[in-house]
Amino acid sequence: MNRAALLIAVMALCTVALRALPFLFMPEKKETPELIVFLGEHLPPAMIAMLCVYCLRSTDLKGPSHGIPELISVIAVCLLQKWKHSSLISVGGGTLLYMILIRILL
C-alpha cells in the first residue's frame, strides 16, 4: 500500500512538473519572446488535431463495423459545429449518434 502511495506521488509530481516547466522558464515580468507568442497562436490547432488522431488511433477498420460509426459521427460533429457553433450540441449529438450506430451496425 505504501508502494502504491509512492507511485501515485511520482505520477502526480511528473505530471505537474511537465505542466509547470514552461511557465517556470517564462516568468510573468519578462516579455514573452516572439517565438512563444507564435507557438501560442499556432500550436493549439496542431495539438488538437493530434488529439483527434490519438482518440481514433485504435479504430478497427477491419472489424465488423469497419470504422463506419466513427467516420459518420466525426462528420456529424463537424457539421453540427459548423451549423450551431456550440460544442455542447456537437459533442452531445455526435456521441448520441455514435451510440446508436454501434448498436445498429454491430
Partner 1 sequence: MAYKSRKEQIRKAFLTSLPVMAGYVILGIGFGILLAEKGYGVLWAFAMSLFVYAGSLQYAGVSMIESGVSLITCAMTSIMINARHLFYSISMIDKYKGSGKYKPYLIFSLTDETYSLLSDGSVPEGCAPSFYRFMVSLFNHSYWVAGSVMGSLLAEALPFSAKGIEFSMTALFVSSFSEQWYTSKDHTSALCGLVSSFLCLMIFGADDFLIPSMALIMLEMMILAGRRK
- Measuring CA to CA, which residue among 45, 20, 95 is closest to residue 87? 95
Say whether residue 104 binds partner 1 (CB under 8 A). no
| Whole-number Å distance between alpha carbons of 57 and 32 | 35
101, 69 contact by CB (below 8 A): yes
Cell digits for 96? 448520441
Contact positions with partner 1 (CB under 8 A) in 40-69: 40-58
Helical H runs in the chain?
A: 2-25, 34-55, 68-84, 87-105
Out of 4, 62, 64, 104, name the contact with partner 1 by CB under 8 A. 4
Binding mask 73-102 for partner 1 (x = CB under 8 A): xx--xx-xxx--x-xx-xxx-xx--xx--x
> Residue numbers of the site for partner 1 (CB under 8 A)?
3-4, 6-12, 14-16, 18-23, 26, 28, 32, 35-58, 70, 73-74, 77-78, 80-82, 85, 87-88, 90-92, 94-95, 98-99, 102-103
